[in-house]
A and B are shown apart, each in its own frame.
Chain A
Amino acid sequence: MTEVGKARRRKEDARLLTGRTRWTDNLQQPGMLHVAFLRSPMAHARITGVDVSAARELPGVVAVFAGQDVAGEQGSLPCAWPVSDDIVIPEHPPMAVTEVRYTGEIVACVVATDRFKAADALEAIEVDYEPLPPVIDLETALSPDSPKVHETGNQAFSVKITSGDLDAAFRDAPVVIDRTYVQQRLIGAAMEPRAVLVSTDGDTFTMWTSTQIPHVLRVMLAMVTGVPEHQLRVIAPDVGGGFGTKLQVTAEEVLCLLLCRKLGKPVKWAESRTEGNLAVHQGRGQLQHIRLAADSDGRIRGLQVDLLADMGAYLMLVTPGVPMLGATMFNGIYKMDAYEFACKGVFTTKMPTDAYRGAGRPEATFAIERIMDELAAELRLDPIEVRRRNWIKHEEFPYTTIAGLTYDSGNYEAATDKALQLFGYDKLRAEQADRRDRGDPVQLGIGVSTFTEMCGLAPSRMLGEANYGAGGWEHASVRMLPTGKVEVVTGTSPHGQGHVTSWSQIAADALGVPFEDVTVVHGDTAISHKGMDTYGSRSLVVGGVAVLQACEKVREKARKLAAHLLECSPDDLDFADGAFKVKGTDSQTTIQELALAAFAAHNLPEGAEARLDSDATFDPVNYSFPHGTHLTAVEVDTETGHVKIRSYVAVDDVGKVVNPLIVEGQVHGGIAQGIGQALYEEAVYDAEGNLLTATLADYLLPSAADLPDFVTDRTETPATSNPLGAKGVGEAGTIASTPAVVNAIVDALRPHGVRDVPMPCTPERVWRALEGGRA
């Protein structure tokens, strides 16, 4: 009975697909009021007056507040990751009081008897703004004469990490490649927009919210609002996607709690898509200067990274930590003699940035994988070959990289060989040559991405060293119910990842019970009292291991009880298929029988408690390092600039796999999201700081119709840092696919004089790059 490794269909899906769901916005409470927020139409302005009197008079309006009305009680939104000693963490009032610093910042709120009246009342609020100059561009923001976002200036922090002798690496280097890449801002666009509902019984507050982090949120809300932690319950009901954007303590959550406390009534807020585009934290936002020194045979000598990271107007939960998650990843899978990472966090009058699928690692991977192609082109080497000459060889693991991380395991050769074979690399190169020779208006490009990532966040000790405010452990508790069924309580908080299914598989194997007999409970701080939630490809690698260890503890308790009942030593028992059997006899008892025996408690070992349950908190000793090789072939129409992805092969090594179907889904979604960054998506602000992509007609997301069939496969090199051998898969596809696609486009156009196309590689940008190459 081996469940782990089986492509189980998800237990979650029948309910989700038939609409028996509990999204926050579907929930009702008796007497519930509705909240609407008035948002700043200006990127930067002083608030000189807010007149809410007319709005207060409208029918159905219960209360209207401006920032000034709650200035003393709203607190400041938290930043939990002060990455450096010089960091500046400005006050971040949930509702702006004296100044607005981005378009979409909340300036007032209405509470009304229904959401329609609340929306209408927003138009009756008069706000007087005195415009201040916007701060948009990262480089000019740091010039001394730039207008300031905050009085302290526009630099949030600076960090520099060096390893090895960089000067020596660059001195007399036969090849130096110098490039600048822009990581555009992205909008998470989770299928379920955010929603918050807060109710109170007078003593305690219950918040339902579309969040990835109910546990972290409860702690932070208690710290920010002064509502005592034990009187606050946070529930993440069904949550429809997050991609990092729901890893946040939002202004809306804090204000809904405040409004419930002030009014003593349940309040609900649900955002529109446009509101979300404006005011959900955005991803990426980096200007990357990259220098690489190499020998003439392509061996890398050194890498220098100089980043400007767009913080937006404030530092939110992990805003400054995002670029730091990439600080030790720009070297990728490659060996080199010297490395330098310098980063400045820059304030701008835009929506704050924060976690977005991959968070720091895609940015780093993009830069190194793009510049590896540039190195190959410079030396007229095949891009695969130049990677082979530099990557860490299988026999060299565990390997401590120039950036100081120890990659525990990996097999880049195996993944790459498999990918090349599935892709038909040589045949496609031949077709490319043929199209070039013929001057075909449709050129073929081949893109490579041999990536790794640091995930499974994270060893608490390492997070402490990085100055993060919390640990990286995860918790699980497991109980055998009297009838032999199993209840698993997890501290992870799934919002599409299928933990109910995967954790059932782990528990079924560990306890020898049927998959169907396991239920998994999550996402409610009153039920799952301890957790660190879901982000950073951590859930299986950390939380799944906690489930396994809790199950193992239960099993060992069961073994003692079985030994007692069967009158033998625990060591004389074999455990298989859910039964303890006395070695060499037919005498046995099942775990279900033991569950009932523990419940009845008629005959327990001396000193044993009447329980067959346990819990475990797992803290990993290292990050995990999934890797893989992604290859894509794109057709570029040189007359129009249109890019069509013709084929895509992904061979991922995510270690041991619990559910191949779920892994497949994560890889597919991840690749699509990374292609979104490469080709379609960008949060565009104009020079005044207005967001031009406030709807999904302007912010383009790829759909299935825009994507090819992905060919996916795996190699399996187990992680050595956790007993499951799993590495995490949530972010892999997103990290790998973006550079693969851009590399392919540039590869197609290199004979036309093109060596970069800025993302997203829109047809117009491809066409202009071609025009530039022709010039």
Chain B
Amino acid sequence: MIPASFDYVRPGSLAEACQELAADEDAKVIAGGQSLLPLLRLRLAYPTKLVDVARLPELAGVHDRGDHVFIGAMTTHDEVMRSGVVAAGAPLLALATAMVADPAVRHRGTFGGSLAHADPAGDLPAVVLALEGVLVARSAQGEREIPAADFFVDYLESSLRQGEVLVGVKIPKLGDGWGFHYEKFHRTAQAWAIVGVAAAVRRSNGSIQEARIGLTNMGTTPVRARAAETALEGLELGDGLRQACEEAAADTSPPADLHAQPDYRRHLARVLTHRAVRTAAGAP
């Protein structure tokens, strides 16, 4: 497939990129191109201009900032999964990133790109949601911080405004007692998740004090399984856990597609949440 024709610019600075985007409402940011290029090639999107931000220094690198890890938007998945800073400060993210697509995609695709694309079937939006990350956007008007809970608006739609570029993401470091797991359910190793469950669980004295659960592909945006999170509070590892995780699909509206109908996705969300929480909580 051949995309319709478009202009291409590679600005030398973030300010210039913001100007390019502000000047043309049909311009689009291109990062690693792993999501956008297929859309262009299938002629499902017709941007007038691609603004390539992949080499902007302001968007690069992983930084330890004390209470949080800051990951530049243009950090590739491969860099994220190999970063010592991420492994120490946000291990759930390292774990989930290693399950994104395949090595070729992980060397091209970027962390920020997959969040800005706002695909609920992507693995990382649910992870950032569960970790209560804060997305940092820049425009000619200045910098804005957007909590993950407010970032994902609808299917392939984020709260980024015209002229705004995602600069990076702050992932708060979770303290002692937290355990993590990402449970991805897919048909082949390279396929999208039918359902994914990102779980972060804090235990103390044998019982769960706090659980945060992000669900992949269970709606038009990544969602938190709030009812299950609440039900899990105070539980010890045991049979009660499974019952609490029965709440995992509450208030979700999962899609129907070739790989799964909504009732099956709800079922999977329950089973996988149980597995993710058990593993995160350190169950044998």
Which positions in A face B, CB cutoff 8 Å?
115-116, 119-120, 123, 272-275, 639-640, 642, 679-680, 684, 692-693, 695, 697-698, 700-703, 705-706, 762-764, 767-768
Interface centre among A119, A272, A706, A764 (most CB of B within 10 A): A764
Q: In the complex, A209 Cα to B42 Cα: how many Å? A: 25
- Least Cβ–Cβ distance between A416 and chain B, in angstroms: 31
- Judge whether B192 and A700 touch: CB under 8 Å: no
Q: In the complex, A702 Cα to B187 Cα: how many Å? A: 9
Q: Which of B38, B191, B271, B272 contacts A700 (CB 8 A)?
A: B191
Chain B residues within an 8 Å CB radius of A684: 258
- Judge whether B187 and A762 touch: CB under 8 Å: yes
Q: Known interface pairs A695-B42, A763-B194, A767-B267. Does A119 touch B2 (Cβ–Cβ under 8 Å)?
A: yes
Q: In the complex, A486 Cα to B189 Cα: how many Å? A: 46
- Judge whether A763 and B1 touch: CB under 8 Å: no
- Least Cβ–Cβ distance between A688 and chain B, in angstroms: 15
Q: In the complex, A706 Cα to B187 Cα: how many Å? A: 9
- Judge whether B264 and A274 touch: CB under 8 Å: no
Chain A residues within an 8 Å CB radius of B189: 703, 705-706
Task: Name which residue of chain B comes closest to A441, CB basis.
Answer: B271
A–B Cβ pairs within 8 angstroms, 12 of them: A120-B2, A272-B2, A273-B1, A695-B38, A703-B188, A705-B188, A762-B187, A762-B259, A763-B194, A763-B260, A764-B264, A768-B264
Chain A residues within an 8 Å CB radius of B271: 639-640
Does B199 make an interface contact (CB < 8 A)? no
Q: Which of B1, B2, B190, B259 contacts A764 (CB 8 A)?
A: B259
- Least Cβ–Cβ distance between B171 and chain A, in angstroms: 28
- Judge whether B1 and A274 touch: CB under 8 Å: yes
- Least Cβ–Cβ distance between A334 and chain B, in angstroms: 34
Closest 6 CB pairs of A and B: A705-B189, A119-B2, A272-B1, A764-B264, A639-B271, A706-B188
Chain B residues within an 8 Å CB radius of A697: 38, 191-192
- Least Cβ–Cβ distance between A55 and chain B, in angstroms: 14
Task: Name which residue of chain A comes closest to B4, CB basis.
Answer: A120
- Least Cβ–Cβ distance between A642 and chain B, in angstroms: 7
- Judge whether A115 and B264 touch: CB under 8 Å: no
Q: Known interface pairs A680-B188, A700-B188. Does A764 touch B5 (Cβ–Cβ under 8 Å)?
A: no
Q: Which of A272, A273, A640, A701 contacts B185 (CB 8 A)?
A: A640
Interface centre among B191, B259, B260 (most CB of A within 10 A): B191
Chain A residues within an 8 Å CB radius of B264: 764, 767-768
Chain B residues within an 8 Å CB radius of A764: 259-261, 264
Chain B residues within an 8 Å CB radius of A695: 38, 42
Q: In the complex, A120 Cα to B2 Cα: how many Å? A: 8
Q: In the complex, A695 Cα to B194 Cα: how many Å? A: 17
- Least Cβ–Cβ distance between A687 and chain B, in angstroms: 14
Does B268 make an interface contact (CB < 8 A)? yes
Contacts beyond the supplied A692-B258, A763-B185: 18 A-B pairs with Cβ under 8 Å:
A119-B1, A272-B1, A274-B42, A275-B1, A640-B185, A679-B187, A693-B258, A695-B42, A698-B258, A700-B187, A700-B188, A702-B188, A705-B188, A706-B189, A762-B187, A764-B264, A767-B264, A767-B267
- Least Cβ–Cβ distance between B202 and chain A, in angstroms: 26
Q: Which of B2, B41, B187 contacts A763 (CB 8 A)?
A: B187
Q: In the complex, A275 Cα to B43 Cα: how many Å? A: 13
- Judge whether A701 and B188 touch: CB under 8 Å: yes
Q: In the complex, A120 Cα to B192 Cα: how many Å? A: 31
Q: Which of B2, B102, B191, B192 contacts A116 (CB 8 A)?
A: B2
Q: In the complex, A703 Cα to B259 Cα: how many Å? A: 18
- Least Cβ–Cβ distance between A312 and chain B, in angstroms: 20
Chain B residues within an 8 Å CB radius of A120: 2, 4-5
Per-residue A-contact encoding for B247-269, CB less than 8 Å = 1, 0 else: 00000000000111100100110
- Judge whether A705 and B190 touch: CB under 8 Å: yes
Q: Which of B4, B38, B190 contacts A703 (CB 8 A)?
A: B190
Task: Name which residue of chain A comes closest to B265, CB basis.
Answer: A764
- Least Cβ–Cβ distance between A243 and chain B, in angstroms: 19
Interface residues of B in 180-200 (CB under 8 A from A): 185, 187-192, 194
Chain A residues within an 8 Å CB radius of B268: 640
The interface size of chain B toward A, counting residues with CB under 8 Å, comes to 26
- Least Cβ–Cβ distance between A46 and chain B, in angstroms: 26
- Least Cβ–Cβ distance between B35 and chain A, in angstroms: 11
Q: In the complex, A697 Cα to B2 Cα: how many Å? A: 18
Chain A residues within an 8 Å CB radius of B191: 697, 700
Q: In the complex, A768 Cα to B2 Cα: how many Å? A: 40
Task: Name which residue of chain A comes closest to B194, CB basis.
Answer: A763
Q: In the complex, A700 Cα to B43 Cα: how many Å? A: 22
Chain B residues within an 8 Å CB radius of A116: 2, 5
- Least Cβ–Cβ distance between A476 and chain B, in angstroms: 41
Chain A residues within an 8 Å CB radius of B261: 764
Chain B residues within an 8 Å CB radius of A702: 188
Chain A residues within an 8 Å CB radius of B38: 695, 697
- Least Cβ–Cβ distance between B151 and chain A, in angstroms: 24
- Judge whether B185 and A642 touch: CB under 8 Å: yes
Interface residues of B in 83-112 (CB under 8 A from A): 102
Chain B residues within an 8 Å CB radius of A272: 1-2, 41
Chain B residues within an 8 Å CB radius of A275: 1
Task: Name which residue of chain A comes closest to B41, CB basis.
Answer: A272
- Least Cβ–Cβ distance between B41 and chain A, in angstroms: 8
Q: In the complex, A119 Cα to B1 Cα: how many Å? A: 8
- Least Cβ–Cβ distance between B48 and chain A, in angstroms: 15
Chain B residues within an 8 Å CB radius of A698: 258
- Least Cβ–Cβ distance between B188 and chain A, in angstroms: 5
Q: In the complex, A700 Cα to B194 Cα: how many Å? A: 13
Task: Name which residue of chain A comes closest to B187, CB basis.
Answer: A700
- Least Cβ–Cβ distance between A575 and chain B, in angstroms: 53
Q: In the complex, A123 Cα to B5 Cα: how many Å? A: 12
- Least Cβ–Cβ distance between A24 and chain B, in angstroms: 18
Q: In the complex, A273 Cα to B192 Cα: how many Å? A: 19
Chain A residues within an 8 Å CB radius of B259: 762, 764
Chain B residues within an 8 Å CB radius of A700: 187-188, 191
- Least Cβ–Cβ distance between B157 and chain A, in angstroms: 20
Q: In the complex, A552 Cα to B5 Cα: how many Å? A: 60
Q: In the complex, A706 Cα to B189 Cα: how many Å? A: 6
Interface residues of B in 35-52 (CB under 8 A from A): 38, 41-43
Chain B residues within an 8 Å CB radius of A680: 187-188
- Least Cβ–Cβ distance between B121 and chain A, in angstroms: 10
Q: Known interface pairs A274-B42, A703-B189, A763-B194. Does A115 touch B258 (Cβ–Cβ under 8 Å)?
A: no
Interface centre among B41, B189, B192, B264 (most CB of A within 10 A): B264
Per-residue A-contact encoding for B56-98, CB less than 8 Å = 1, 0 else: 0000000000000000000000000000000000000000000
Q: In the complex, A642 Cα to B189 Cα: how many Å? A: 13
Chain B residues within an 8 Å CB radius of A767: 264, 267
- Least Cβ–Cβ distance between A279 and chain B, in angstroms: 13
Q: In the complex, A703 Cα to B194 Cα: how many Å? A: 18
Chain A residues within an 8 Å CB radius of B102: 703, 705
Chain A residues within an 8 Å CB radius of B190: 703, 705
Chain A residues within an 8 Å CB radius of B2: 115-116, 119-120, 272
Q: In the complex, A475 Cα to B268 Cα: how many Å? A: 57
Task: Name which residue of chain B comes closest to A693, CB basis.
Answer: B258
Chain A residues within an 8 Å CB radius of B194: 763
Task: Name which residue of chain A comes closest to B121, CB basis.
Answer: A697
Q: In the complex, A640 Cα to B260 Cα: how many Å? A: 12
Q: In the complex, A445 Cα to B61 Cα: how many Å? A: 48
- Least Cβ–Cβ distance between A333 and chain B, in angstroms: 32
- Least Cβ–Cβ distance between A698 and chain B, in angstroms: 6
Task: Name which residue of chain B comes closest to A36, CB basis.
Answer: B2
Q: In the complex, A2 Cα to B5 Cα: how many Å? A: 59
- Least Cβ–Cβ distance between B60 and chain A, in angstroms: 29
Task: Name which residue of chain B comes closest to A118, CB basis.
Answer: B2
Chain B residues within an 8 Å CB radius of A123: 4, 43
Chain A residues within an 8 Å CB radius of B258: 684, 692-693, 698
Q: In the complex, A693 Cα to B42 Cα: how many Å? A: 13
- Least Cβ–Cβ distance between A707 and chain B, in angstroms: 10
Q: In the complex, A169 Cα to B42 Cα: how many Å? A: 56
Interface centre among B43, B102, B258, B260 (most CB of A within 10 A): B258
